[in-house]
Amino acid sequence: MENNKKIKIGLIGLGTVGSGVFKTLGGFDHVEIVKIAVKNKNKKRDIENLDEGIITDNPYEIVNDPSIDIVVELIGGIEPAFDLIKTAISNGKHIVTANKELLAKHGEELFRHAEAHNRVVLYEAAVAGGIPIITPVKTILAGNNITKIEAILNGTTNYILTKMDVEGASYEDVLKEAQKLGYAEADPTSDVEGYDSAYKIAILSSISFKKRINIDNVYKEGISKIKAQDIKAANDLGYKIKLVALAQIDKDEKVDVRVHPMLVSKDSILAHIDYVKNAIKLEGYPVGSIALSGAGAGEFPTASSVIGDILGIADELGTTDYLLPMMRCKHKESAQMINIMDTVNKYYLSINAKNEKGVIGKIGAICAENNISLASIVQRGVEENNTADIAVITEMALERDVRKTIDMLEADESINTVASLIRVQTDK
């Protein structure tokens, strides 16, 4: 920017990530945080060099301040974030945000509004925290035809599944411990039921496939039904269980975007991403297959992505009338999305049956009746009540056929219950 004038930043939110941004941005001479909006002005904050005089509890003071060049929104949720960002754009400000829910639900409207006012919205921190993925997809990978994304995008669920694996503990016990340690919220629904990962994979698949993704059509299934015995069975069969965000586009341009637990081969990259780490694996032409992994959340990793976006805008201000053309939203076409019932997958089924002759044959026959071939079927032991736990892995099958099979199995007098249905990764 001309005359060595400092670029003025308004920060909305001073939580974990906001604190990291404040602490780190002080190391750059050409940018300056001039105002910070918080919910509670009187809260004691242990942040060095924080001038209490720049703190307000009215975020509209920031978006309506004519001296501010860039507004950084780190409060999350839909309102008031949506209105604040729209107001800031109308007032000529560029935006940096980490708000995955807002972008997944209202990205189209926000990007259209930003383009109408010739402003940019950058959001590297909205997906996978400190892992750089949005900028690489929009810039260095722009010449690729990306066809598939497999990712672990939620640290809370990955931590829970890793602890269940390492300790053989139940989901409920590990969740309580994760809440105590601050890895899981008091209300963990967004994480453990797959919403958080769904917002992120919707954003990532939208920019990778250059089509708008309707978040309502993204299939979501969380980890709350995963049992310790599923994790043990998966291990015995050569797999780990992970909550996978999957997006793929077929030759007819139909898009399949979903989040659900998966058995991933122990030979695969995702099987070795443990605790709160995140990872993203992309397949495309001509790049082939690439993977990125690192911290998917946290004060400084996420601040790294926010600051990268701030500096990206700051370095362009005053040099051009049309900032960062590669980072803008260019796609206008909505994706034709595939319903989960029409997808084809391999499946793991955990079946509890009466311990009697012919049960395994009966399971095989019901599967065959529904066009399902079995890759393996293993009786995993007999319980004290004389019931048998049986683990089945299918060959590739249509989801609709598998659901019908489960209904037929559960209606059979020899079968007590189909305790689990978990999809299986088909390549490494």
Q: Catalytic positions, please?
A: 200
Residues whose CB is less than 8 angstroms from the CB of residue 169 and which lie 6 or more positions away in sequence, other chains included:
163, 228
Amino acid, res. 271: A
Amino acid, res. 56: T
Strand 374-382, strand 387-394: pairing: antiparallel
* Angle at which helices 81-90 and 100-116 cross, to 10°: 20
The CA distance from 221 to 213, in Å, is: 18
> Which tokens in the block code for residue 246?
């999957």
Residue 296, judged by CB atoms within 10 A of its CB (0-12, 13-18, 19+), counts as buried
* Angle at which helices 299-314 and 16-25 cross, to 10°: 50
Residues whose CB is less than 8 angstroms from the CB of residue 399 and which lie 6 or more positions away in sequence, other chains included:
340, 341, 342, 343, 344, 345
The CA distance from 133 to 347, in Å, is: 30
Cβ atoms of residues 408 and 370 within 8 Å: yes
Amino acid, res. 225: K
* In the block, residue with structure tokens 């906001």: 18
Cβ atoms of residues 101 and 76 within 8 Å: yes
The CA distance from 124 to 95, in Å, is: 12
The CA distance from 92 to 84, in Å, is: 13
What are the beta bridge partners of residue 397?
345
Amino acid, res. 115: E
The CA distance from 24 to 137, in Å, is: 25
